[in-house]
Structure 1
Amino acid sequence: MTLPMLLNMIILVSEDQNIDLGLTDQFILSFGVTWVVIQYDLEIDHLPKTDEHITLQTQPSSYNKFFAFREYWVLDEAGNQCISIKSLWVAMNVEQRRLAPIPPEIVAPYHSEAVRLTPRFKKPKKIEQVTASREYRIRYSDIDTNIHVNNTRYLDWMIDLLPYDFLISHQPAHINLKYDNEVRYGNTIESKYERLTIDDQTVTRHEIYNNGNLAAVANFTWQPDGEVD
């Protein structure tokens, strides 16, 4: 399973839960907002194998006026947890394209905990010296229902820069991915990365820029394939 495929699948699990609770896209849009993820933190024991049967679980755990915290778990065919994901979400005003207070009606069905502060996420470290970069033009197929780039595409652009020999010999053990600004149809983005060794671990730092503005930043920690634990 690829990382973009994994993110696509957990979003589908969220959508299935929303539909089961009556939180359809139309209902959420009736409040003038839509859900937008702003950060993921992934702990990866191992990625599921091709054709392996897996179980995906999710729980919206807590929220406050502006942020909602949701967790995901991926269980392998033997029922063992192979991936855990923490995520932070906001409500975006669909007309103004900016952060909005979360309407109580769209979180009440989750029965999650109302808190003063949601869990804090570490801020990914930025690139110090670029190893490689590449430009990509945004296509119609890159756009999601929120009329901006699907969040899985950022992972594609980040991973695409890494050498083939590296990708077939390594697996990610941890990913911290933060979205800063929207990217929309017709834009041209620049993906950059830096590869370095920290405490005997291979780390890649990634940044995506849109017209000079930082759109997304991520830190990956890698292990040789077969050594992730």
Structure 2
Amino acid sequence: MYQYKTFISNNDVDFRFELKVTAIFRLFQDAAMLATQDSKADSISLAKRNIDWVITRMDVEIIRLPKCNEEITIITYPGKDLMMVYPRHFLIKDQQGTIIIRASSLWALIDATTRKVLTGRDVISRLEPETTKEELPLPSKILMPEEKYYFGQKVIRYSDIDFNCHMNNVRYVELLMDVNDFTFYKSNRPSLISLNYIKEIKEKDTVNVFTNGVNPQYVEVQVDNSPSFIGKVTFVER
């Protein structure tokens, strides 16, 4: 189990001086990277072997959003490996040790050239699985409702791309959050976010965003009329 303390930066808060939802996912990315460095299973080490980590699913439960300058503890640990899939859990605790955010995720290893999933169990050293009673159950498949409407379009640019040469995981969350406006977020916040990453999105791809506009709210991102990402968000009133 890997854990460390950090403070909420003013660069990562919104108009309420609370942690931005998108910043949660950046914190988790950083935690996963740090936790796997010693075993050489981090993204940088694997890139030297032409291997990439890709996230396939993630669920995040937000109990409370920490405030600017608040100290938090981020905890992450691997779950039991599944067939070609590597679970990872996350917890964020406040200074009193109370869990304020928790998440579960599923990851896969792919060949950086062919983009095909690597199935061998010896690709990386075995990550010793752990479990806690507080962890969020592993994420499941999201089914997009048939009734949906077109929200908008975006062309993926250089700044959207990460070192894996595809759209960064956090950019998907930004698309998800931007379906609603400032007025909506003044009186609502996400309490549960579920993400299914289906296909990679690359630079110069044109994405079309669809939503069903209810609570829970579903958002689908398509490329060439085919789903690349589906998200589901449940909101609570502030």
Shorter-chain TM-score: which interval? 0.7 to 0.9
TM-score, length basis structure 2: 0.83
Measured after TM superposition, the shift of residue 194 of structure 1 is 1.4
Q: How does 1:1-229 map to 2 (within 5 A)?
A: 1-108=19-126, 110-112=127-129, 121-196=139-214, 202-225=215-238
Q: Residues 51 and 131 of structure 1: is their aligned pair in 2 closer, same or farther, counting only changes over 3 Å?
A: farther
Pairs aligned (count): 214
2:13 maps to which residue? Answer: none
- What CA RMSD, in Å, does the superposition of the two structures yield over aligned residues? 1.9
**C-alpha separation in 2, matches of 1:9 and 1:53:** 13
**C-alpha separation in 2, matches of 1:65 and 1:131:** 36
Unpaired segments ≥5 residues, structure 1: 114-118, 197-201
Unpaired segments ≥5 residues, structure 2: 1-18, 131-136
**C-alpha separation in 1, matches of 2:53 and 2:112:** 10
1:115-174 Cα shifts (integer Å, max 9, x gaps)? xxxx76322231333355111111111101111000110111111121322112111111
Measured after TM superposition, the shift of residue 224 of structure 1 is 0.2
Q: Residues 102 and 220 of structure 1: is their aligned pair in 2 closer, same or farther, counting only changes over 3 Å?
A: farther
More off after superposition, 14-23 vs 215-224? 14-23
TM-score, length basis structure 1: 0.86
Runs of 4 or more consecutive aligned structure 1 residues displaced over 4 Å after TM superposition: none
**C-alpha separation in 2, matches of 1:59 and 1:194:** 34
Measured after TM superposition, the shift of residue 103 of structure 1 is 4.4
Identity %: 24
Contact 2:105 2:138 in 1 (8 A): no
